[in-house]
Structure 1
Amino acid sequence: MPHDHRPDHDRSDQGRPDQDRLDHDHGGQSRSHHGHHHPQIKEGDRRMQAAVAVNLLLTAVQIIAGVISGSLALVADAIHNLSDALSLIIAFFARKIGRRPADAKMTFGYGRAEVVAALINYTTLIIVALYLAAQGVERLFNPAQVEGWIVVVVAGVALIIDTITALLVMRMARDSVNIRAAFLHNVADALGSVAVIIGGTLILLYDWRLVDPLITLLIAGYILWHAGREVGPVVRILMLGAPEDTALDEVITALRATEGVSDLHHLHLWRMQEHETALEAHVVITEGTDPQEIKDRIKAQLFERFAILHSTLEVERDGAGCKEAPLIGH
């Protein structure tokens, strides 16, 4: 039976937030929302399967062409493309696991499966980029002959496939760190293909063989920059860090300013999963204040101002609670 994140004040009729916005299931999605978007979920799964298929086909073509032409940049782009295909596979299964409801083993649900998948994908991407960088440096000192036409043609095909793949997952990328990672990888692949096309053209026109390893290093550098920028928020969620889009100081100020609240301590703010923020705190109330009324008031404020739906509040009487407790943490 689904748990209810609704603030206690939501249970009567006056001045209450829309129940559909608050009545959530174990996965952090509203029951009406989940049911309404069931066809979209299936469509999203089909799009990801198609993206995986075209990426695996492209990877095979690029590797064969890279070996025949002697282009390290083309092989580098193929390896990157393979990592994208694998990341899409991981993202696909993590997406399915993340839709499972909470149970006795995972009382918060399985939503973090997508965050874990994103961390795996970014870590793998960093390793691949470091390997490509090492290969590029080695080829700088030992440049090899590259067949420019093969490089240009195959990279052109890759650019088309990468663009198609990005379009397949672009819509889903807006709401999922997992799918967004796969989408941005394909954008990076498309840019890499553009770089390879430019390099192949320069080899054809001027026989600049060093341009191949130089472009390989540029692709590796871009991958490292991209993965390094995106992995931080993923680690933040897994480390139970406070959400970047919620100002903790503002939350504390708002709670302390609530009528009847004299103090606040043992506060924690974190994401249970990517789109569900949670808060717990000890709230010290003044003498003569109704504890339930304070809870209702605080939960309403947390929802209306900060979109925090899941809150756990322990109410203490002034002078009878925790002694010398820190404001944040234990």
Structure 2
Amino acid sequence: MAHSHGHDHGHSHGHHHHSPDDSMGKLLFAIIINIALTVVQVIGGILSGSLSLLADALHNLSDAGALIVAVIARKVGNKSASNTMSYGYKRAEIIGVLINSTTLIVVGVYLIFESFNRYLNPEPIDGWIVIGVAGVALIIDLATAFLTFTSGAKDNMNIRAAFIHNVSDAMASVVVIIAGTFIILYQWYVIDLIATIGISIYVIYHGILLLKQSILIIMQAVPSHIDIEKMKQQLNVIEGVEELSHFHVWQLDDKKYFFEGHAKLNTTDSETVKNSIKAFLHDEYEIKHSTIETTQMLEADQNLDPLK
């Protein structure tokens, strides 16, 4: 059987990165101030007796961890492809997201457990220390969120994960400030525990979303924005295609999509059909990497007929 193997990979790499040194500098500075803030919050939480402040401290520590993983993953991800890693190291960033999201969930569950434990064994809380430390935390959280956003959060899932950490932590700091205010005005110590549980649930929710997204990419699932049945129908009406089957769509990281498939053709001009399929995948689905194997329908039928 005469197979025409179209293993042409349209590698049009349109990388529009921020200056790598500039982005890395911002991320490293964000790591330093997050670690410093964590230390301040832990001291403040111990002195004031506030669990929500300690929750915010742990969340900040997870922010620093997220940023450290983001920096390492970006360094590794930028390494060139090799003979042993032909796809390159881009998926290191997805592993980074997997680690970050798992950390978020674990920290969130631990804080909820501690909240119930504190409810059964209540302690007095100094609201002024809570507000003071949370106020400083809010300023630093917003600054860190800005640093991560301008370091490529729009274009990079791993940096975006770190950015979400920071934004959620800024929101958590606002919640802690409100809790501290209620403690000062009404001595409602239970509000501190409610705030802790609220922050934890929010953290767990985002952790699960990121975890799901990263696992699907690692498992080579079809990208969420692609309807595989619709794609099949669209490809089957391309001129020259009799039937397209055995095809797969997956993504390497949060930006690179791949396609491979087999097309039975009703024409002898296989190159034109392959180019049409590749152009459609590129324009409609942003798939720049495609491998297409073709078989001419007439040849396939002859092979099936024992008299030929």
Q: How far apart in 2 are the matches of 1:43 and 1:262? A: 51
Give the aligned partner of residue 272 of structure 1: 252
Give the aligned partner of residue 91 of structure 1: 70
For residue 4 of structure 1, report the CA deviation from its aligned partner.
7.8
Give the aligned partner of residue 102 of structure 1: 81
In the superposition, relative to structure 1, how do residues 284 and 136 fare at CA in structure 2: closer, same or farther (>3 Å)? Answer: same
Q: How far apart in 1 are the matches of 2:133 and 2:252? A: 44
In the alignment, which of 170, 177, 198 is matched to residue 218 of structure 1?
198
Give the aligned partner of residue 305 of structure 2: none
Give the aligned partner of residue 221 of structure 2: 241
TM-score (norm: length of structure 2) = 0.91
- Name the Cα RMSD after superposition: 1.8
Is structure 2 residue 236 aligned with structure 1 residue 256? yes
CA contact (8 A) 1:140 1:214 kept: no
Q: How far apart in 2 are the matches of 1:275 and 1:182? A: 17
Q: How far apart in 1 are the matches of 2:177 and 2:286? A: 47
Structure 1 window deviating more from structure 2 (132-141 vs 312-321): it is 312-321
Is structure 2 residue 129 aligned with structure 1 residue 150? yes
CA contact (8 A) 2:236 2:243 kept: yes
Is structure 2 residue 218 aligned with structure 1 residue 229? no
Is structure 2 residue 12 aligned with structure 1 residue 23? yes
Is structure 2 residue 99 aligned with structure 1 residue 120? yes
Q: Per-residue displacement from partner, 1:269-309 (whole Å, max 9, x unpaired)? A: 000222111000011111x4222222112112211222211
Greater relative contact order structure (CA < 8 Å, 6+ sep):
2
Is structure 2 residue 119 aligned with structure 1 residue 140? yes
Q: How many residues are matched?
A: 294
CA contact (8 A) 1:163 1:186 kept: yes
CA contact (8 A) 1:111 1:274 kept: no
Q: How far apart in 2 are the matches of 1:258 and 1:311? A: 16
Q: How far apart in 2 are the matches of 1:71 and 1:296? A: 64
Give the aligned partner of residue 172 of structure 2: 192
Partner SS state of residue 123, structure 2 = coil
Q: How far apart in 1 are the matches of 2:260 and 2:8? A: 16
CA contact (8 A) 1:158 1:193 kept: yes
Counterpart residue identity of residue 23, structure 1: S
In the alignment, which of 160, 175, 183 is matched to residue 203 of structure 1?
183
Q: How far apart in 1 are the matches of 2:52 and 2:282? A: 51
Q: How far apart in 2 are the matches of 1:291 and 1:236? A: 34
Matches within 5 A, 1:160-175: 160-171=139-150, 172-175=152-155
CA contact (8 A) 1:81 1:189 kept: yes
For residue 166 of structure 1, report the CA deviation from its aligned partner.
0.2
Is structure 2 residue 298 aligned with structure 1 residue 309? no
For residue 250 of structure 1, report the CA deviation from its aligned partner.
2.9
Counterpart residue identity of residue 84, structure 2: K
Counterpart residue identity of residue 81, structure 2: A
Structure 2 spans left out of the alignment, 5+ residues: 1-6, 302-308
Counterpart residue identity of residue 48, structure 2: S
The percentage of aligned residue pairs carrying the same residue is 43
Structure 1 window deviating more from structure 2 (247-256 vs 218-227): it is 247-256
CA contact (8 A) 1:165 1:186 kept: yes
Counterpart residue identity of residue 155, structure 1: A
Partner SS state of residue 251, structure 2 = strand
Partner SS state of residue 19, structure 2 = helix
Q: Per-residue displacement from partner, 1:132-165 (whole Å, max 9, x unpaired)? A: 0000011112211111111110000000000000
In the superposition, relative to structure 1, how do residues 280 and 141 fare at CA in structure 2: closer, same or farther (>3 Å)? Answer: same
Counterpart residue identity of residue 106, structure 1: M
For residue 251 of structure 1, report the CA deviation from its aligned partner.
1.9
Q: How far apart in 2 are the matches of 1:320 and 1:179? A: 51
Q: How far apart in 2 are the matches of 1:156 and 1:84? A: 17
In the alignment, which of 61, 86, 90 is matched to residue 111 of structure 1?
90
Q: How far apart in 2 are the matches of 1:319 and 1:68? A: 82
